[in-house]
Amino acid sequence: MKILSLFYLAASLLGVVAANDANQGHTKNSCIHLNAPHVPGANVISIKAMELLNHTVPATPPFLLDSIYGLNVCEVDVVLTHPGADDQVLVKVWLPLEDWNGRFQANGGSGYAAGEFDLTLGPSVKLGYSSASTDAGVAVNPLTPETWALLPNGSVNMVTLTNFAYRSIHDMAIVGKEITEQFYGSKARYSYWNGCSTGGRQAMVAAQRYPDLFDGILAGAPAIFWASYVVAEQWPQVVMREENTFPSQCELKAFTDAAIAQCDELDGIKDGIISDPDLCHFDPYRLVGTCVCCNGIEVTISEAVARVVLKTLQGPFGPSGQSLWYGLNVGTALDFLVNTTVVSGQRVGLPFFVNDAWIRYYLAKDANYNIGDIDYSTFDRLLSQSEREYGSIIGTDNPDLSGFQKAGGKLLMWHGLSDQLIFPKGTIDYRDRVERLMGGSAKVNEFFRLFLAPGVDHCAGTPTLGAVPSDPLGALVTWVEEKKAPATLAASVSGSQRGARILCPYPLVAHYVGGNPRSAQSFQCI
Hey, which residues are catalytic here?
A: 197, 419, 458
- 3-class secondary structure, 443: helix
SS3 123: helix
> Rounded to 5 degrees, what are φ and ψ at 422?
-115, 120
> β-strands 448-453, 410-416: how paired?
parallel
Half-sphere exposure at residue 177, Cβ-oriented, CA atoms within 13 angstroms: 19
Find, among 289, 314, 282, 325, the residue nearest to 422 by Cα: 325
Do 19 and 56 contact (CB within 8 A), yes or no? yes
- Burial class of residue 58 (count of CB atoms within 10 Å of its CB; 0-12, 13-18, 19+): middle
**Residue 20 C-alpha from the chain's centroid:** 33
Q: How far apart are the first and last CA of the chain?
A: 31
Sign of CA dihedral 493, 225, 255, 283: negative
- Residue 139 in contact with residue 111, Cβ under 8 Å? no
Give yes or no for a contact between 130 and 183, defined as CB atoms under 8 angstroms apart.
Answer: yes
Would you call 288 exposed, middle or buried from its count of C-beta atoms within 10 A (0-12, 13-18, 19+)?
A: middle
Distance CA 58, CA 14 (A): 11
The answer to whether the CB of 312 falls within 8 A of the CB of 233 is no
